[in-house]
Chains A and B, each alone.
Chain A
């Protein structure tokens, strides 16, 4: 139980294009989803927190107009990287939880490469 999937697992795009990453909770209802960014050999950096049906809360320094987050249902959240540039290349990981617990379930991650 408590499986979180992400799609795609990897994506390569040209500079200036937009990319959408999906995060799904497969066997539970995710009232809250989190989006992280991980640079090579570094820890996870929280980008934003989203509650179903509400606007996402972004961490300081994260551009909300560049990283659009939608959490329209209890099983799906999407992260759209708009007008991607090479510096946006990274490993993006989502996590989800049900209710207000301290346990988050993580997706397998999406590797984004912007050429």
Chain B
């Protein structure tokens, strides 16, 4: 079945550092890929998405490119801020298969001032 694997955290960086959170997926079809962010005590917010190979999703300085050849969707940001501290979830969904979103286990990010 479909699955998502993302790097374990926590990840601790200094402010203005470059961020990469790795995410790979396994899917039999053609899923859409997502990154969600969860701030402390809150629900999930959609950060960005990509619906087909080579698409790049971007939002708030974050980017991720749908790489079918490596089955990856790594999240990157050039210069992180303290306010980016949160838990980041990689996810996929394939409506041709079912209605479910498959989430990775989440990566906790701490940004130090």
Contact = CB atoms under 8 A, between A and B. Distances in A.
Interface of A: 4, 6, 32, 34, 41-44, 46, 49, 93, 95, 100-109
A108 B101 contact: no
A6 B42 CA distance: 11
Nearest to B101: A104
A6 to B, nearest CB: 8
Contact of B43 (A41, A42, A108): A108
Given A102-B32, A103-B49, A107-B43, A41 B108 contact: yes
Interface of B: 32, 36, 41-46, 49, 51, 89, 93-95, 99-101, 103-106, 108
Contact of A43 (B51, B99, B103): B103
A34 B105 CA distance: 19
Contacts of B44: 44, 93, 95, 106
B21 to A, nearest CB: 14
Nearest to B99: A49
A101 B42 CA distance: 23
